[in-house]
Amino acid sequence: MTILAHFTLACAALASCLPSSALAASIDSRAISPWTNFNNNVVFRPPADWTDPRTLYARTLQLSDKSLLATCEIYAPDDPLSLPIFRSTDGGATWKEYIRFYDKVNGWGMRYQPFLYVLPQDFGGYKAGTILAVGTSVPKDLSQAYIDIYASTDKAKTFNFISHIAYGPGPETVPNGNKAIWEAFLLMYQGKLVAFYSDQRDPNYGQKLVHTTTTNLRDWSPIVDDVAMPYYDGRPGMTTVAYSKKSKKYVMTFENCGSEKNCQVNYKVSDSPLTFASAPYSPIVSNDTAQVSPYGSPYIIWTSKPGATDGSGIFIANGNYDASVYINDDRALPQNWKRVSINQKDGYSRALRIISNTKGQQKLLVASAGNFGEPDTNALTVGVLDVPS
């Protein structure tokens, strides 16, 4: 994690930083027809008296019945904290809080960085279709942390603890040297579930990116580095990974933060999601004359290319402080990032997901829960649009 003190810098580098009045206007509530395209629909608007940033770090999921789930961090006065999971059965037009993602084992609360994942196959004693939920469980005094994994076998009505993925002896705060852990991301690969996360526990690095694997959801392997800079002050952070079925390449995005860096979004390409350490990294820079980059908290997905009949697809990435998405083809070459405006609110760790509508069409679901330092506008918002190309 990096709590971005980079807003001024990032905005200086971008044409797209909107004034906050424009953001406020863009997330007014309004009636939306089921299963249509829309932008900036409010899922949840936090009470005004919550602590800044009030909401942050959106994540989504679609279940096989086409219902949608959305969750985010909340900065509520509750102790212990829990993470709300909202549900929509009409393509994101209307939402209700459905369940809380509770810490059931540490007595601390579930505070940071939810991630939702549908098991694509039977695994670890759970059937395909089981919902896995990961979050960072942290006590109110931020003294330590677990990244924990839970499962729901009843479509998110209840979640039960499975195992601790990682322990951080703390403090669970950003300064280098504090043994914090953050931002888990899950991916199945060759019979293993991989959990990627950010790690401040290694005394040689301010922060590095690592992964661990499991074959049974209970026992987790020793960690393997994915990105560690060759200097202490590096803070590569916030792994997400996407896979192209066409090129068979895995692409990992991360924010390149630290005292010498400005959180420009970078990426690596690898034949395996377990060997990112040896892959070179490049920044995402738009291939138009403006040469724009996203800064901070990236997210990447892959989907088949609209209209393509040969199986080819596109990677779609985004980062903070830029409402646009960055599209690349299956090779993910550095000169092929095309920046496309999508008219959705930007956000810290804005989530991208391909969903299927009632006609079986693929749509892009974008979910933002706002940013630090936006106390008048933070809300959990979603947009649904045609897959850009």
Enumerate binding residues for ligand NAG (CB under 6 A): 287, 327-329, 336, 338
Q: In angstroms, what is the minimal distance from the CB of 337 to ligand NAG?
A: 7
Task: Pick between residue 221 and residue 336 the one whose CB is nearest to ligand NAG.
Answer: 336
- Taking the C-alpha atoms of residue 244 and residue 231, their distance in angstroms, rounded to an integer, is 32
- Taking the C-alpha atoms of residue 369 and residue 348, their distance in angstroms, rounded to an integer, is 7
Q: In angstroms, what is the minimal distance from the CB of 272 to ligand NAG?
A: 24
- Taking the C-alpha atoms of residue 150 and residue 99, their distance in angstroms, rounded to an integer, is 14
What the block records as the tokens of 60 is 């989504």
Q: In angstroms, what is the minimal distance from the CB of 379 to ligand NAG?
A: 32
Q: In angstroms, what is the minimal distance from the CB of 129 to ligand NAG?
A: 34
- Taking the C-alpha atoms of residue 74 and residue 47, their distance in angstroms, rounded to an integer, is 10
Task: Pick between residue 12 and residue 340 the one whose CB is nearest to ligand NAG.
Answer: 340
Q: In angstroms, what is the minimal distance from the CB of 297 to ligand NAG?
A: 22
Q: In angstroms, what is the minimal distance from the CB of 315 to ligand NAG?
A: 9
Q: In angstroms, what is the minimal distance from the CB of 283 to ligand NAG?
A: 15
Task: Pick between residue 153 and residue 287 the one whose CB is nearest to ligand NAG.
Answer: 287
The 10 Å Cβ neighbour count of residue 358 is 10
Task: Pick between residue 94 and residue 336 the one whose CB is nearest to ligand NAG.
Answer: 336
Task: Pick between residue 104 and residue 338 the one whose CB is nearest to ligand NAG.
Answer: 338
Q: In angstroms, what is the minimal distance from the CB of 330 to ligand NAG?
A: 10
User: β-pairing, 38-44 with 55-62?
Assistant: unpaired
Q: In angstroms, what is the minimal distance from the CB of 265 to ligand NAG?
A: 16
State the distance between the two ends of the chain, measured CA to CA, in whole angstroms.
30
Task: Pick between residue 22 and residue 333 the one whose CB is nearest to ligand NAG.
Answer: 333
Q: For residue 20, which phi and psi values (nearest 5 degrees)?
A: -65, -25
- Taking the C-alpha atoms of residue 60 and residue 289, their distance in angstroms, rounded to an integer, is 33
Task: Pick between residue 228 and residue 327 the one whose CB is nearest to ligand NAG.
Answer: 327
Residue 116 near residue 106 (C-beta atoms within 8 A)? no
Task: Pick between residue 204 and residue 289 the one whose CB is nearest to ligand NAG.
Answer: 289
What the block records as the tokens of 18 is 């909107």
Closest CA to 150 of 160, 164, 137: 160
Task: Pick between residue 169 and residue 306 the one whose CB is nearest to ligand NAG.
Answer: 306
